[in-house]
Amino acid sequence: MRVRAAAGKAKKKGLVVMDRDVESLSQLYVHRTLTSGQLARLAFGDISYETARKRMRRLMQANLIGCASSERSEGRGRPELLYYLTQHGAHVLEQKRVIDRREIPIGPAHTYHKEHFLKLADICISLKDAEDIGLIRNFAWLQGEDFASQWAKQHGAEMTEHPDAAISFAFPKGEQMIILLELDTGNFRQTRHWEPKIVNFLFTGHPIWVVANSETRIATLSEWTLPLLTANGVGAGKCVFAVFSEIMEGILAARWFRADGTLSELRPK
């Protein structure tokens, strides 16, 4: 991954930081790293992609964000850029959004975690797409660590494991709900990793969504999960599973499997 330095361009005339710019910094804080297409969708959704890219370049020139090339293709064979927060961007975000500077990650994401962060952002965008066409409403995305911190403050109980994200939304005629989201890495071990996660998640009482790369992997995770659900007195639908590639075609159109292998209808009839 080749990092592009922006410091040399930082001496251009000062940039007036607008609300949209702060939102782009906030999205990089939430998602850690984003492709140019993802950042455009999440922070610049009301303007054209090319206009959004020009603004991203201005943010780079002002040393608020940095970028590196990625393995993802943007089209015409050129690699898509990955953006991340810089020290200066973190400082501006701390002032504008009152976020503790120590909690703001800066610099490019580690290669090992990069694709995981990008897939989570893809899932977030899929949910935003569902909101845009009216399938859900009041959608919000919260970092798993932030959810765990809030849970501890509200309930006086620490979560030793946190989800990748906590998502909140309501169906058009339904009530607002919170769902814990876990994106399987393929490296989880049953007793060392998976069981402590699910037990912690069940303790909150919230439904659980698990996204994996294949139905084969889902079968394994379901086999590990079902006894935990039974032991905690909840049904197989408390934790549902879907394949990542299907979610990219529409998160509510994907097949979601209960822990017992049966298909779940997520949307109320």
Question: Would you give the end-to-end CA distance of the chain in angstroms?
Answer: 47
pLDDT of residue 6: 46
> What is the extent of the structural domain holding 176?
117-264
Nearest to 136 by CA among 251, 18, 19, 254: 251
Q: What is the pLDDT of residues 73-125, one digit of tens each?
A: 666 666 788 999 999 999 999 999 888 888 899 998 888 789 999 999 999 99
CA-to-CA distance for 26 and 16, rounded, in angstroms?
17
Q: Does a structural domain hold residue 269?
A: no
And the tokens for 12? Answer: 């251009």
Query: Which residue, of 61, 85, 109, is where some domain finishes?
Result: 109
pLDDT of residue 204: 95
Q: Provide the total of helices (H) and of strands (E) in the chain, helices listed first.
A: 9, 11
| Residue 72, domain CATH | 1.10.10.10
And the tokens for 169? Answer: 């939304």
Q: Are residues 149 and 239 in the same domain?
A: yes
Sign of torsion over alpha carbons 171, 45, 117, 70: positive
Cβ burial of 127 (10 Å; 0-12, 13-18, 19+) is buried
Instruction: Please list the residues that pair with 150 across neighbouring strands.
Output: none
pLDDT of residue 11: 45
Q: Are residues 167 and 187 in the same domain?
A: yes
Residue 114 DSSP code: H
Residue 103 DSSP code: G
Q: Which residues of the chain have pLDDT under 70?
A: 1-13, 71-78, 268-269
Q: Does a structural domain hold residue 128?
A: yes
Instruction: Please count the structural domains in the chain.
Output: 2
Query: Which residue, of 77, 109, 141, is where some domain finishes?
Result: 109
CA-to-CA distance for 6 and 8, rounded, in angstroms?
5
pLDDT of residue 261: 96
